[in-house]
Amino acid sequence: MTNVYITTAIDYPNGPPHIGHSLEKIAADVVARYHRLRGDNTFFCMGLDENSQNVIAAAEASGVSARVWVDRMDEAFRLAWRKVECSYDRFIRTTEPAHFRASQELFRRAQAAGDIYKGNYSGYYCPNCNTFYTAEELTPHGTCPNHPTVKPDWLEEENYFFALSRYTERLTRHVEAHPDFIVPATWRAEILSTLRSGLRDFSVSRPVRNQKLVEGQPWGVPVPDDPEHVIYVWFDALTNYLTAAGFPDEPGRFQDTWPADAHVIGKDITRFHCLYWPAMLLSAGLPLPRSVAVHGFMTLEGQRISKTTGNTIDPVELVDAYGADALRFYLMRDISFERDGDFTRANLIQRYNADLANDLGNLLNRTVSMISRYFEGTVPAPAGELTGPDADVQRLAGAAGRLTAAGLERWDFDAALDGAWQLVRRANQYIDENEPWRLARDPALRPRLATVMYHAAEALRLLGIYLTPFIPTAAGQLRAQLGLPPLAPGAWRPEGGETAWGGLAPGTRVERARPIFPRIEVPG
RNA sequence: CGCGGGGUGGAGCAGUGGCAGCUCGUCAGGCUCAUAACCUGAAGGUCGUAGGUUCGAAUCCUACCCCCGCAACCA
């Protein structure tokens, strides 16, 4: 059995989740569900990046302690991901003791490899941003570019650094030798370009004395054997992928789980996952992840999503309004994974009505209705000679499975769903060409009627498998109406799975037809 | 000249040298099993701009314009 490990970026809990977060989570979940259906032993992980000064600031702004705040965010994020039906196996928080151990162990290994050294970090420090700026980055008046009222002071602090520059050569070779390491390819080109321009060492710690404390204690992972410093973002946040896999506490499980097959991330953190992270792993003597899948960002109704201007949507609200399947389907079908896209309610509703309600939902509804009406609710056995259209539906059914799988293998959700929808459309067309309502009027044509209804139902059964990763609830309802039990893991195995034509047993009792995707009526 | 991506019918996209395509939407017709759904057909594009290469350019080259992102911890 193949082990598959898929991660998503851990989110900053400086505010509740919004629609922008959910594209990545849903995309990763679709792929994770796909692998479970393929029979892979799948481990799917998501979580929160809690050890940040920004989190303390958010807590203070809300008038609660940092602990209370992160617990509250933890609940909010889990609720959102449950609502959109993310099937995570592990939800990791970087404040967990297990994660502290992982982070410190990775740091120690890098130290042992001679890649960690102490140096001075200096610049104009803006306490609001918690960021150092160069003189050129400040405004002409010497104020912070983000905070016009703040005049940053020159500050020098002692930091630990990681010797990223030593890895330029090895990273270049790795990226060049592994064309699938970064998908889509456009980001691979960008990373190679960055490598050509040379890498600089990066800071991996912050002195505790410059940090906000929580209950008198530093907030974050202490540097091993130097409690005056806490580990700064990279050796902390990125390490979550190891912690979740059992590093260093459960060597057996870690051995089976690591390396990750895919880190699913937003384009803003591409270089950290494609350069910093592999270098850290090389330093620690650990295998590198097999791929990094980079997605674009969404705008919301044409505007940049922004917590500060309030241009956000709560995914929970969308699920309550339209259902998880509608949201998942819309994001996968209408928003490009690779490029930036625009989220609009109007398009969501249009996609839902056109593809789910009209095409797929109605196909199921008319098929089940006719089986009820003409065959007393029992799937008939196909009979007589097969016609061209019959063969065509069977062929399209096979192609749909292959195209959907191929699309999912390369994070091309558009191609994946397009493959499935070729079958949806062909099946609707097939029913129209064969006019079962006309066949039903002539008892002599009953064998032909049986064949037609069988083909329609069997196409739907297969669609129910192929679409389960995208719309798990509706796919289950589809199966239920066809009289089938919930799908078992491994149902889509290439060998011994349930995707061969003819898997629907004649005699299966269908349920009463009920729309699984009621149309969303828009006023006006 | 910091780096990268993008500009194709109303919307979203495909198309790396050979009649400009797909889905949605729009319009017309058909059907009546079905969720006013489904099926068939039609209209709609000087492929960002200006040059160039070529028998032939959305596609290759040059210049320019516009949008977005990264660099710079907003997913």
Q: Tell me, what CATH number does A243's domain have?
A: 3.40.50.620
ipTM exceeding the 0.85 mark: yes
> Which nucleotide lies nearest residue A427, CA to C1'?
B38
Residue at minimum CA to C1' distance from nucleotide B32 = A437
Residue A404 counted as domain residue: yes
CA-CA distance, A156 to A153, in Å (whole number)?
10
Give the largest CA-CA distance in chain A: 93
Token pair listed for A440: 């039903």
Residue A523 counted as domain residue: no
Pair A300, A402 in one domain: no
Residue A486 counted as domain residue: no
Pair A294, A349 in one domain: no
Among residues A237, A207, A198, A53, which one has the least CA distance to residue A118?
A: A207
Q: How far is the CA of A338 from the C1' of B53 (A)?
A: 33
- Bridge-based pairing of strands A292-295 and A262-266 is parallel
pLDDT for A81 equals: 94
The A 60-89 residues near strand B by Cβ under 7 Å are none
Provide DSSP, A55-110. Answer: HHHHHHHHTS-HHHHHHHHHHHHHHHHHHTT---SEEEETTSHHHHHHHHHHHHHH
Residue at a domain's end among A286, A302, A328:
A328
Among residues A437, A477, A476, A474, which one has the least CA distance to residue A453?
A: A437
Residue A488 counted as domain residue: no
Pair A102, A206 in one domain: yes
Residue A340 counted as domain residue: no
Residue A393 counted as domain residue: yes
Residue A286 counted as domain residue: yes
Say if CB A113 and CB A155 are below 8 A apart: no
Low-confidence ranges of chain A (pLDDT < 50): none
Q: Partners of A264 in the beta sheet?
A: A8, A293
CATH of the domain at A421: 1.10.730.10
Domain span at A289:
3-328
Pair A199, A70 in one domain: yes
Residue at a domain's end among A271, A303, A328:
A328
Say if CB A176 and CB A196 are below 8 A apart: no
The A 271-310 residues near strand B by Cβ under 7 Å are 271, 297-299, 304-308
Pair A316, A374 in one domain: no
Question: Would the Cβ of A312 be found within 7 angstroms of any atom in strand B?
Answer: no
Q: How far is the CA of A465 from the C1' of B67 (A)?
A: 40
Pair A354, A320 in one domain: no
Pair A349, A313 in one domain: no
Say if CB A312 and CB A267 are below 8 A apart: no
The A 349-378 residues near strand B by Cβ under 7 Å are 350-351, 353-355, 357-362, 364-366, 369-370, 373
How much is the pTM? 0.93
What's the total number of domains in chain A?
A: 2
Pair A261, A154 in one domain: yes
Residue A335 counted as domain residue: no
Pair A320, A404 in one domain: no
pLDDT for A345 equals: 86
Rg of chain A over Cα atoms, rounded to whole angstroms, equals: 27
Q: Partners of A133 in the beta sheet?
A: A124
Pair A87, A195 in one domain: yes
Q: Which residue has the tokens 């505010």?
A: A15
In terms of phi and psi (left: phi > 0; alpha: psi -120 to 50; beta: otherwise), the region of A411 is left
pLDDT for A134 equals: 66
Pair A138, A258 in one domain: yes
Pair A59, A128 in one domain: yes
Question: Would the Cβ of A54 be found within 7 angstroms of any atom in strand B?
Answer: yes
Q: Is residue A260 exposed (0-12), middle (13-18) or buried (19+ Cβ within 10 Å)?
A: buried
